[in-house]
Amino acid sequence: MMSVVENHAAILVVLLPLLSAPLAMLFGNRHVAYLLSIASSVASFLLAIYLVLLVKDGSVLSYHIGGWAPPLGIEYRIDAANALVLLIVSAMSVAVLPYARTSIKKEIAEKNHALFYACFMLCFTGLMGVTITGDAFNVFVFLEISSLSTYVLVALGAEKDRRALSAAYDYLVLGTIGATFFVIGLGLIYMATGTLNMVDLSERLATMEGNRTVRSAYAFIVIGMGLKLAIYPLHRWLPGAYTYAPSAVSAFLAATATKVAIYVVVRFMFSVFSIQFGFEQDTLKFIFFPFAIIAMFAASFIAVFQVNVKRLLAYSSVAQIGYMLLGIALFSATGLSASLVHLFNHAVTKGALFLAVGAIIYQTGSPMVAHMAGLGKKMPWTSAAIVVGGLSLIGVPGTVGFVSKWVLLNAALEVGLWPVSLMIVLSSLIAVVYVWKLVELLYLAPAAEDSQVTEAPLSLLVPMWGLVLVTIWFGFNADFTVQVSDMAASSLFSGGFGKEAIIMGTEGRP
């Protein structure tokens, strides 16, 4: 039994949540649906840890689906980069689901709970699939699975606020445009090379830098994913979707969806196309670099003026995505590593923050910043979670946000770009403003006199504080995250994805 699990860990990580989704729907009972979802999430999480440990030393795993060898069959291919993302996504699912069980009681009608879990698991499956696969077209398939279910999840917020429908519709339109661009790009490179396997693609594309089809394919893919990852100014869908989705969904999306999209861009830029291509370096220099910096400032600045706390966090996410893109745009192994570390760190931080804010909305019924006045006393644990998460957004030492800033500054100064380092530190000052706005309200403003607000229930506090503790723990001790990211970055840079892989799951097959 154990050996089966070990041999087929790569597929089980996706298959278990995929199976739980229709089962949840068929049973239709919210308790059964919850149990199925949490069980498969935990299983995926454990398997993801197992995979991370396998690739931590820099080796690459390959799993052939159905025993069909690539490039004809679909291959799952795992190195440190996507193992890290698998870990983030599955960990967030484990953290958010128990929270969702309580939080959706006030947001979604009971008859729809099973539907919620089914969609959630489909979304989870899609994100895991996008991350783990080594087949370019398979990325598209899983991307659509996750996107379509996300549209439904966002729209489920409509029972509380009808604006969720238009937010979901916005997201649907823009997300579909993104996906279409992406698939057009895939079509073009398939036309040019005749293959869809990533390793195969990279071998054939290596000599095709001048090919115009390849170039346009690249443009379509990067812009398509750029929409999905909300690169400034393609971020318009994000604030609405995060604001009006049910709290648990906001937390899960904020922590995972954009991260996976960034991973896909990195994978295509470094492992499918060659980073040595002139047009790729131009993208980094003339698109990612300036827009990352604009995002860092503009989105943070917009966040300062938000009156809805979820929207505030959403704009803060757009700004943080800027930091991740900046790390990639620095075009060095340390820069890329800084981005990958920030993927993890920001996922944990923003996840914790959205859960905390969700708990406030659960107790007070209002997402308005002004209604948070004086809650520091009434909801001490939730408020403290917001403070820690906020400090992490600013990048105060002792939180994961500091680790991100540390490695990013290191990377910027290492390549001699001191003005960039200045931009990084200056933009984080804007975070001080919007975080402190919340802190002052929570602790120093008087509460409304007739306010009967009490602390959130334990089922909300435990997942929230789980993530807060992770925020602090990896803020003091970043050995593990930095090591894995360094390994992933150096492997991406040296084309380690295509190297001789350990083939999993061949035992007992004909």
Partner 1 sequence: MTPEQLIFAALALPLAACVACVVFAKQENLRDGLTLIASIILLVTVVTILQQYQAGAVVEASWWNFSPGIAIAFKIEPLGLVFALVASSLWIATHIYGVGYMRGNKEKKHARFFACFAFAIFATMGIAFSANLLTLFLFYELLTISTYPLVAHKETPEAKAGGRTYLGILMSTSIVFLLTAVVWTYVISGTMDFKPGGILTGKTDAAFMAILLGLFAFGIGKAALMPFHRWLPAAMVAPTPVSALLHAVAVVKAGVFSMLKIGVYVFGVDNLASTGASQWLMWLAAFSILAASLIAMQQDNLKRRLAYSTVSQLSYITLGVALASSMGAIGGGLHIVTHAFGKITLFMCAGAIYVATHKTEISQMRGLGKAMPFTFIAFGIGALSIIGLPPLGGSWSKWLLMVGAADAGQQIMIGVLMVSSALNVAYLLPIFGQAFFDGSAKSDGKGFREGLKEAPLLCVLPPCLTAAGCLVLFFYAGRIEEFLAPIVLGGS
> Which stretch in 169-177, 187-195, 343-351, 479-487 sits in contact with partner 1 by CB under 8 A?
479-487
Total binding residues for partner 1 by CB under 8 A? Answer: 33
In the list 486, 489, 491, 501, the residue contacting partner 1 (rule: CB under 8 A) is: 486
> Which stretch in 225-233, 306-314, 318-326, 476-484 sits in contact with partner 1 by CB under 8 A?
476-484
109 binds partner 1 (CB under 8 A): no
432 binds partner 1 (CB under 8 A): yes
Residue 380 or 457: the one with the smaller Cβ distance to partner 1 is 380
Residue 416 or 508: the one with the smaller Cβ distance to partner 1 is 416
Residue 168 or 435: the one with the smaller Cβ distance to partner 1 is 435
In three state form, how does the secondary structure of 138-194 look? HHHHHHHHHHHHHHHHHHHHHHCCCHHHHHHHHHHHHHHHHHHHHHHHHHHHHHHHC
Crossing angle of the two packed helices 309-329 and 289-304, in degrees rounded to 10? 160
- The distance of closest approach from Cβ of residue 390 to partner 1 in the complex, given in angstroms and rounded to an integer, is 11
409 in Cβ contact with 427 (< 8 Å): no
For 305-332, where are the alpha helices, taking DSSP H only? 309-329
61 binds partner 1 (CB under 8 A): no
Give the x/- contact pattern for partner 1 in 386-425, rule: CB under 8 A: -----x--xxxxx----x-xxx-xx--xx---x--xx--x
What is the Cα–Cα distance from 77 to 10, expressed in whole angstroms?
Answer: 8
Contacts of 470 (CB under 8 A, 6+ apart): 348, 352, 400
List Cα–Cα distances, 82 to 52, 134, 197, 397, in angstroms. 9, 10, 16, 27
Identify the three-state secondary structure at position 258. helix
Contacts of 346 (CB under 8 A, 6+ apart): 255, 259, 317, 320, 323, 324, 401, 404
What is the Cα–Cα distance from 328 to 222, expressed in whole angstroms?
Answer: 13
- The token pair at 307 is 């009156």
25 binds partner 1 (CB under 8 A): no
Residue 158 or 403: the one with the smaller Cβ distance to partner 1 is 403
Residue 419 or 508: the one with the smaller Cβ distance to partner 1 is 419
- The distance of closest approach from Cβ of residue 216 to partner 1 in the complex, given in angstroms and rounded to an integer, is 39
What is the Cα–Cα distance from 151 to 149, expressed in whole angstroms?
Answer: 5
What is the Cα–Cα distance from 448 to 368, expressed in whole angstroms?
Answer: 14
Provide the β-strand partners of residue 133.
Answer: 76
In the list 483, 490, 493, 495, the residue contacting partner 1 (rule: CB under 8 A) is: 483
For 365-494, where are the alpha helices, taking DSSP H only? 375-378, 380-394, 400-414, 418-444, 458-476, 479-493
Ramachandran assignment for 447, one of left (phi > 0), alpha (psi -120 to 50 degrees), beta (any other): beta
- The distance of closest approach from Cβ of residue 482 to partner 1 in the complex, given in angstroms and rounded to an integer, is 4
> Which stretch in 42-50, 80-88, 147-155, 481-489 sits in contact with partner 1 by CB under 8 A?
481-489
Residue 191 or 429: the one with the smaller Cβ distance to partner 1 is 429
Nearest to 327 by CA among 479, 488, 175, 214: 488
Residue 32 or 469: the one with the smaller Cβ distance to partner 1 is 469
Give the x/- contact pattern for partner 1 in 183-212, rule: CB under 8 A: ------------------------------
Residue 419 or 510: the one with the smaller Cβ distance to partner 1 is 419
119 binds partner 1 (CB under 8 A): no
- The distance of closest approach from Cβ of residue 410 to partner 1 in the complex, given in angstroms and rounded to an integer, is 5
436 binds partner 1 (CB under 8 A): yes
Residue 129 or 395: the one with the smaller Cβ distance to partner 1 is 395
Identify the three-state secondary structure at position 28. coil
Provide the β-strand partners of residue 61.
Answer: 78, 502
- The distance of closest approach from Cβ of residue 394 to partner 1 in the complex, given in angstroms and rounded to an integer, is 8
429 binds partner 1 (CB under 8 A): yes
What is the Cα–Cα distance from 195 to 200, expressed in whole angstroms?
Answer: 7
- The distance of closest approach from Cβ of residue 375 to partner 1 in the complex, given in angstroms and rounded to an integer, is 15
Residues that bind partner 1 (CB under 8 A): 391, 394-398, 403, 405-407, 409-410, 413-414, 418, 421-422, 425-426, 428-429, 432, 436, 440, 443-444, 476-479, 482-483, 486
